[in-house]
Structure 1
Amino acid sequence: MAGREVREYTNLTDPKDKKSGKGKDRIDDEEITFQRMVAKMQEVAGERGGYLHGRGALDSDDLLYLKEQMEAEEDAERLLRQTAPASVPLPLRVEPKPKSGIRQQDLLKRMVAVKAKTQGVPVPCDVDPSREASNQQPSKKHRSSNDQDLEKDKSSTSSNKVGEETKSDNPMAEFFPDERDALIQLRDLVTSSSNLHVNWTERACISANRSIWAGVGCSDWHVTDLVLEGIQLTSSLPLPPMLFQNLTFLTKLSFANNSLHGPLPNLTNLVHLQYVFLSKNSFSGSLPSTYIDLPELTKLELQENELSGQIPPFNQQTLIAFNVSSNQLRGPVPQTLVLQSFPESSYANNLGLCGSIPGMSPCPVTPAPAPAPTLVPFQPSARNDGGLQPWSIAVIVATAVLVGLSVLCCYIRKAKEKEEPEVAGEVYKGKVDDSEASMKLEFLERPVFELDDLLRSAAEVIGRGKLGTTYKAVLDCGSVVAVKRLENAKATSNKEFAQQMQVLGSIKHQNLAEIISFYHSKEEKIIVYDYIDDQSLFSMLHENRGMALDWNSRVTIIKEIATALDHLHRSSASHGNLKSSNVLIHTTTPPRVKLTDYGLLGIAPPQMLAAGRTPEAVAGKRVVPRMADVYCLGIVVLEMVTGRAAKAPESGGGGDDDLSGWVREAVSIDWSTDIVDLQIVGEREGYEDMLKLTEMALQCTDQSPERRPEIAQVLTMIHDIIV
């Protein structure tokens, strides 16, 4: 592109047009010259051409970027000239203007202040530049030696603080830390030829729409692209299944042509994800069925891996490219319109894929069941015309007796079940057939007992809910465990279930019920917890069981629940089913808390969990697990302040929103102790904390997930309130 064309495209002024007043912008001799613009173009070409377009030349996108850079520099330099002495050299580069999230002038002022401080020139905001110039310090040669030494000390101190000032003055330094944490966790798990440990430091997004991290793209300060292709990416351990759960704005994920192994990543809740390129690795296991729930999935390339099992029924209308060739998949290609539209090459070189796609092997026809054998009437011989043989009569009589005894036993057994429900081991082992009984429990640490020991144990029902039934099991060795038999998790594959259990089992915290082991088969999914002989918060608040909870005890419980949630979120997990019945209270002084039923959001249907009662879930919108946990915590806090139980939607109320809406309306009129639980209304010294915690809970239960605080912020609020 010629110089004149560049000037016309970017609306920049040619220096030779300055005298005649031509051009859109007029510039002074001290400002940007055309030669500097050309130098800037060369800098941008060298910086961006290699990975944007694979060439050194600039195109229209590059020129728009160049124009944005130059305009930002002009604005910054004007501010510098108004505040900095002429002797200070002006910087040649600043950040481009942000497109959203912060006012441009605020950002430029902060940059000016930081750069001036870096060069040792203070720029007070309330000092007139002309007055500052008239009050110049005497030259260095007229100062005393003591003054010079003092100046050196100040200069040294100033230089040591530059990094801190730059970081603190950056208005975007703390935006979306969960996204950065996820990338840092990935960085620490892998090795590559790109040396991510050196490149991935500081912030992931240095401006609203730009990142300097290799392979990372940003938009509106969110991480939207993660492209690490062909860089010998490898890891000694499989990637954690929930690693990418906090990258909720991700649109493109590509690890193609690397050496990653283990199961495919869990992409649940990444509702903006469009492009998934994981080909030419060593990923194994089944293709997650949750991928069919990605609403904007456009391209999915998984070829040349070691995937096994069957293909889920993808049917997203957005899906235009699909490739699972060169794997170990088997079974029929699902008869969805989308999957049937792709050519045979998308499925080639697998162990046993079949279907009606042209060029593909047809699936074998299942043979019809053999007809039942025809019953031939008994033809007695001539010697037996007189009647039945004696042994025949004996058999008939014995059979009749056995049938009668069987009917009687069944009747007695059913009567006994009505009198003594859910007692004895059969209540949870009945569905484990003989072929499955030989399988082993999977322990997260060292084995403690066998599946046979669990099946022989006496079991007693201690809880029943939407997810299933929980039993107290006493083993022959005397150990006591809690066995959770899931009744709505059959849609989850065994491999996905096992992966989730491994992740949850690795999370240890004093306020989380420990998962000891688990068992899975086609019909059964069982979780074995450490048994905790305590009352639930629900029973203590709403059923008058156990000790009465004073206000100090309730504050302690709130703090420990928030602490446990914070630990889960920092471990890239979520609770998903936080409610007062899943909070166990050990009645010590102060009381101790254990959370149960955590981490089941990817296993059980969302509508079965507390997260399914959030406003966004009820409205059919996307549920962000961390924000759902914060909402559920707010509901539990309101229960503890008011003593009221949150109604389930199916009970005729509006769900949790009934409680938060009632409190919100009452507080908006005037804070009154009328909403406070009668058990604590007499504790006047706690009224101020009750009000503050109620206000915090109302923030947590905001209708919009984006306006709710993160759990780390909630924990800080709680600590500030109870200090």
Structure 2
Amino acid sequence: MASPSPPPATSTTFTILLILISFEVFSSKAASTDAEALLKFKGSLEMSNDVLGNWAAGSSPCTGDKANWVGILCEKGNVWGLKLENMGLKGHIDVESLEGVPQLRSISLMKNDFDGSLPDVKRLGALKSLYLSGNHFSGDIPGDKFSSMLSLKKVHLAQNHLEGQIPWSLAELPRLLELRLEGNHFSGQIPNFAQKTLKVFNVSGNEQLRGSIPRAFSNFDPSSFTGLHCLCGKPLDNPCTTSKMPSIASIIMVSIAVTAALLAIGAGIVILSRRNQSSSNEENPAHSKSPNASASSPAIGSRSPDRGSSHGSGAGKRAAESAKLSFVRDDTERFDLSDLLKANAEILGSGCFGSSYKAALTNGPVMVVKRFKQMNNVDREEFQEHMRRIGRLKHPNLLPLVAYYYKKEEKLLITNYVEKGSLAVQLHGHQAVGQPAIDWPSRLKIIKGVAKGLRYLYAELPSLITPHGHLKSSNVLLKANFEPLLSDYGLIPVVNQEHAQEQMVAYKSPEYTQLGRITKKTDVWSFGMLIFEILTGKFPANFLHQSKSGGDEENLASWVKSIPEKEWIGQVLDKDMGPTKNSDGEITKLLKIAIACCESDFEKRMDLREVVEKIEELKEKDGDEDFYSSYASEADIRSSRGLSDELNFAI
């Protein structure tokens, strides 16, 4: 029987030819895409000479595994790495253009002249290696800078000028192998790195790091922590004591002791001076009360020690009063400054205006002491009156002020300690502190509580243009049941204006950046940004940068508005929030409220009363009411009647 004939050779050859042609077309297209993106990236750089001269239009970066352009690493015709080291490069690192290189996995820009903030590398989610050591990058790094970069294995940021806390998102990278941060100015505690994959870690030279070294590094070489005298635990020969931190006396009260000592010295000088005067009078009869005065008749000089003693007692009394805590509430347990001085202190963090300390009083409550150095333009009477005013406030969603200490150079504000910590930590660092993510019902509860707290502040502090003025997630503390407590409210009147304008949230609002003023609706803008942060899980600060066109500042609101509404649930919401089944409609309503709060034209922005009313209508599950159409109609009515019944605005 004849064997079956093979398929025609021409057919097999044609199939192979089609595959080869398709592969060549795909490779050519990929190479063209890589070239365009890299040339755009080159355009953002500055260089003293054309070190990237062979990066030219019309040529291909790669041919197979061979690189045709300097500083390019290739694999199968694709660009997978940039190695542009020690080339004198500076300027803007255009991360957006690098998103057009889809196979890019490694970037090295070491030993160049780049400065400013770190680039937004989180946009390159597939990156495996990032080498930026030996530049001039500076400033704080947002905690979530590296979140979602699940493939990142090597991060080298050594020998820059970076400061603030080490980003917690680095401790959450599941595949991290190497982390080099030496030669910077990082401060605070080292996050709890627990990756078993981590082989290289170095933070030497960051002299402001303090606290215990995480257990994951107990077997590392001690050279990883060279020069860090405030760290304790293995691998250093500096065991951690039972006291977590030095006493508050050694941290924040040295100036008080110095003041008291100076007053005592001054009193002593007066006493000695009067005693010398007394001795002189007794030796010189001309200064006696009477030439015939008897020994039992006291001379004026003999009373000097008594008057001097009285003077010294008065100085001591004034010193004691100057070092005295002033309580502003009657419903709190009293304690003395000496009790505070004896307490063990733990640094909770460093904010815009100073540091916060947790102080556990012996046989007493746990307090938080905040230092403020940016209030030295306020006189004692004005400061005391304002603190008494704040102390009278009482609401379930306000963290009450307990006491304060006044000194010209710095002030201390004392509040109760809230165990669960800040909303910022729970939103952005819950994994690092071993807490589950906040679910949708709890986030809605937090937003409603913040709204109620703001409404109360507006009612009780009507004379303040912005009754809160510094609303952000780190100033929202959470009780165990997720009931929020607002903190750092009402401080604008007592903060030096130059510092307030640099650091307080109110002065980041559109009306201030555009018109140089804050209004009665500035807190509403801050609240809108907070709602976006709660729902998206993103730091607003990451979105506050000047647009390339030089227009208005971009922010979370503009980012949300740039995404089609039907895609909000899938693209905008924080993935850590978990399932939101049967709640999509309510979440959409809340996002629209936030957009209305963040309207850049404050005259068109909802006022606080409207915001609170709309938020109180929201439910955990979808309802039947057509919320947004009702809001739109109200907005139209308000627009048609003008500003006659709006709140008065003040510069």
- After TM superposition, the score normalised by the length of structure 2 is 0.44
Q: Which has the higher contact order (CA 8 A, sep 6+)?
A: 2
- After TM superposition, the score normalised by the length of structure 1 is 0.40
Question: Which is higher, the Rg of structure 1 or of structure 2?
Answer: 1
